[in-house]
Amino acid sequence: MKNIIYYLPLITTYAFAQSSSQSISTVTGSANTYTSGLDYGSIFTLPPTITPSSYTSLRSSGATSGSSGSSNATTSSGSSNSTVTTSSSTSASRTLSQISGGTRTPGTSAAAAPRPSNTQACNGYPEFCTRKYSNITEVAAHNSPFARERNAQSNQQYGVIQQLDDGIRVLQGQAHMINNTLYYCHTSCDLLNTGPVEDYLRDVAAWLDRNPFEVITIIFGNYDWKLTDASGDAKLVTAENFVAPIRDSGLLEYVYQPPSNAMRLSDWPTLGEMIIMNKRVVTFIDYNFNTNAVPWLLWEFYNVWETPFSPTNVSFPCTVQRPDGISRDQAKSMLYMANHNLNTQVTIAGMNILIPNVAQLRETNGEEGNGSLGKMVKDCEDMWDGRPPNFLLVDYYNYGIPNGSVFRVAAEANNVPFNDRPCCGTPSSSLASGLERSMVTALTGTLAAVAMAMFML
């Protein structure tokens, strides 16, 4: 049982399904439990704040736990009296009292002494530890697995480990079935195949092992949800096909199973609760869900709505596209994702192909200006009663004005001070002379592959 030292004082309160040898039926048959009224005591404690019961505007509310005015709510890297390090360097043997910054035993009276303030960051900020999962805006890597140099079907520059290290907390990708194995491929595995889903998830699980205070989301795109075999017979790919790669990669032990397959904003636990349970991964699938067989792989559109996807229009409207037909009141009770990855369309041999519009990438990922991510977030807040999106889906997250501006936009939406740091490796300072030239070369190769595929038909 990994990292169990963190949770020993709470083992009678929390239900765990951690053993790697536990059967899949046992794991999927019971939901994680937690006590919403638990006194965190010396685990995750912040100075007294007003925590909204629903998702109110974090940008304008100075009374939320995200207020930048709290002198105690600092990350360990910026505080001289911090008692713990950030999650990227937290030792697996760290004790509960070290995590807390105090020694009080959970459940004892705190009247005799001031409650310790939390200095351990959850998803980068101490303020997030007591916020609900549904009350945080995170940057999402659109088509996270597709980071292959000189391939026009790529959507990211760095692989998943670097993405997570840089602050990406939502991973989205498109899976295809080949010979009964799921692969991450973009549009066609002949154009871009980055390998088995299981290999990708194994890297994610290893990263979670090393970062015990991080909560992530994975959205599986089930491209072959209506796959047919050579004879034309339906051969559906469903949520059950995703169980093996999730289990065999080691990720399953971290997957959170909600008490409902259609969670409302108020139903979600806090990040602190998920971290204490060590259930730190929320999984969604876009098509062919089966929560009877796989209750922890949620149907995305029972829980999340999306703005128009694959956008080619810089206006980036904040209207509901998927799922179709939900009311405004329904939308207000769900998580939502802003699709902010600008595309351009190319046509070859009668086929239309969307590729990232890298010529406008820095403006698209910028903090302000027409077509910027910052403007879209503000537009969404205006349209949805002050509530920013939960997920900001972007291409090449490391580019912007300045580079890494997507994380600045998320920090502002969360009403927390941006942890100012150089972003994301050492990308070229000139997008036009670097990434765009690579895209031209890559597009030539992609179109050649499409032409060959058409010839073989």
- SS3 for 216? strand
- Domain membership of residue 310 (yes or no) is yes
Global pTM value: 0.74
Catalytic residue of the set 115, 186, 279, 378? 186
CA distance 296 to 283: 7
Q: Count of CB atoms within 10 A of residue 105's CB? A: 11
CA distance 276 to 288: 31
- SS3 for 196? strand
Question: Does residue 340 carry a catalytic annotation?
Answer: no
- Domain membership of residue 180 (yes or no) is yes
pLDDT band at 333 (very low <50, low <70, confident <90, very high): very high
Q: Inform me whether the pLDDT recorded for 12 exceeds 50.
A: no
Residue found by looking up tokens 């629903």 in the block: 54
Q: Which residues of 203-222 are buried (b: 16+ CB within 10 A; e: fewer)?
A: bbbebbeebbbbbbbbbbbb
Residue found by looking up tokens 């002050």 in the block: 386
- Domain membership of residue 456 (yes or no) is no
Q: Range with the lowest mean pLDDT among 98-107, 196-205, 321-330?
A: 98-107
CA distance 405 to 241: 37
The residues that bridge with 355 in the sheet, in sequence order, are: 344
In angstroms, the Cα distances linking 393 to 68, 82, 376 are 25, 33, 12
CA distance 448 to 98: 58
- Quote the number of domains for the chain: 1
pLDDT band at 185 (very low <50, low <70, confident <90, very high): very high
What pLDDT does residue 15 have?
Answer: 30
- Domain membership of residue 59 (yes or no) is no
How much of the chain, in percent, has pLDDT values that exceed 70?
Answer: 65
- pLDDT per position as a tens digit, 82-121: 332 333 333 333 222 233 332 223 333 444 556 567 789 9
- Domain membership of residue 112 (yes or no) is no
Q: Inform me whether the pLDDT recorded for 394 exceeds 90.
A: yes
Detail the DSSP E strand segments found in 97-228.
138-141, 170-178, 181-185, 193-196, 216-222
Closest CA to 373 of 394, 355, 387, 345: 394
- pLDDT per position as a tens digit, 225-256: 876 666 666 668 999 999 999 999 999 999 99
- Domain membership of residue 124 (yes or no) is no
Question: Does residue 186 carry a catalytic annotation?
Answer: yes
CA distance 399 to 373: 12
Burial of 240 (0-12, 13-18, 19+ CB in 10 A): middle
In the predicted model, what is the mean pLDDT of residues 53-63?
A: 36
What is the domain range of residue 264? 134-450
Q: Quick one: CA torsion of 400, 357, 226, 299, rounded to 10 degrees? A: 20
What pLDDT does residue 203 have?
Answer: 98
pLDDT band at 347 (very low <50, low <70, confident <90, very high): confident
pLDDT band at 188 (very low <50, low <70, confident <90, very high): confident
The residues that bridge with 228 in the sheet, in sequence order, are: 234
The residues that bridge with 181 in the sheet, in sequence order, are: 178
Q: Do 416 and 130 meet the contact criterion of CB atoms below 8 Å apart?
A: no
CATH of the domain at 188: 3.20.20.190
CA distance 51 to 270: 11
In the predicted model, what is the mean pLDDT of residues 423-443?
A: 51
Please state whether beta strands 391-394 and 138-141 pair in parallel, antiparallel, or not at all (unpaired): parallel
Q: Range with the lowest mean pLDDT among 94-103, 122-131, 429-438?
A: 94-103
What pLDDT does residue 372 have?
Answer: 98
Q: Do 399 and 427 meet the contact criterion of CB atoms below 8 Å apart?
A: yes
Q: Inform me whether the pLDDT recorded for 74 exceeds 70.
A: no
Q: Count of CB atoms within 10 A of residue 422's CB? A: 9
CA distance 64 to 79: 21
- Domain membership of residue 1 (yes or no) is no
- Domain membership of residue 39 (yes or no) is no
What pLDDT does residue 228 have?
Answer: 65
**Distant-in-sequence, close-in-space partners of 32: CB < 8 Å, separation ≥ 6:** 14, 15, 17, 256, 257, 258, 277, 279
- SS3 for 455? helix
Q: Inform me whether the pLDDT recorded for 454 exceeds 80.
A: no
- pLDDT per position as a tens digit, 412-422: 999 999 987 77
Q: List the Cα angle 182/308/56 in 5-degree steps.
A: 105
User: Which span out of 78-87, 344-353, 431-440 was modeled with the highest average pLDDT?
Assistant: 344-353
Tell me the backbone φ, ψ of residue 353, rounded to 5 degrees: -125, 130
What pLDDT does residue 215 have?
Answer: 98
- pLDDT per position as a tens digit, 162-171: 999 999 999 9
Mean of all residue pLDDT scores within the chain: 75
CA distance 101 to 25: 39
Catalytic residue of the set 59, 131, 132, 142? 142
